[in-house]
Amino acid sequence: MGATKHEIFHDQINEEAAIFNALGHPARLAIVKTLLTYKTCVGNYLTHEIPLSQPTISQHLKVLKNVGIIQGTIEGKSVCYCLNHSLIERLRVFVGDMLIQYDLHQTNCNC
């Protein structure tokens, strides 16, 4: 006990949950929103934009990278981050399917 029992769930649901989980921290969501606004962004900008220490920001960037939401390119002394196209596409499809499925039974929900 204590840790999530990933082994009892399908790989797909574990992966989807990991994506939502990565977006489920305000600092990481702030990073994603910054990348949505500015398209690309160097790590140091985030360190000055978000009032958390540099190691903490670095750690959050790692989480986002690990699930594939962002990618980083080394540019001299800096790392330039941007959103990962295929991951965004996957989120689009997942939420899209979810909403279609939801709409299908909106006529007679009795809760």
- 3 binding its own copies? (CB under 8 A): no
Q: For 67, which DSSP code?
A: T
- 2 binding DNA? (CB under 7 A): yes
Q: For 40, which DSSP code?
A: E
Instruction: Dump the DSSP string for 74-104.
Output: EETTEEEEEE-HHHHHHHHHHHHHHHHHHHH
Residue of the chain from 2, 55, 85, 86 that contacts its own copies (CB under 8 A): 85
Q: Which residues contact 73 (CB under 8 A, 6 or more apart)?
A: 79, 80, 81, 82
CA distance 64 to 99: 25
Q: Write out the binding residues for DNA, residues 9-48 only, by CB under 7 A.
A: 21, 24-25, 27, 42-44, 47
Binding residues for DNA (CB under 7 A):
1-5, 21, 24-25, 27, 42-44, 47, 52-56, 58-63, 72, 74, 76-79
Binding residues for its own copies (CB under 8 A):
4-6, 8-9, 13-14, 16-30, 32-33, 36-37, 39-40, 50-52, 71-73, 80-83, 85, 88, 91-92, 95, 98-99, 101-102, 105-106, 108-111
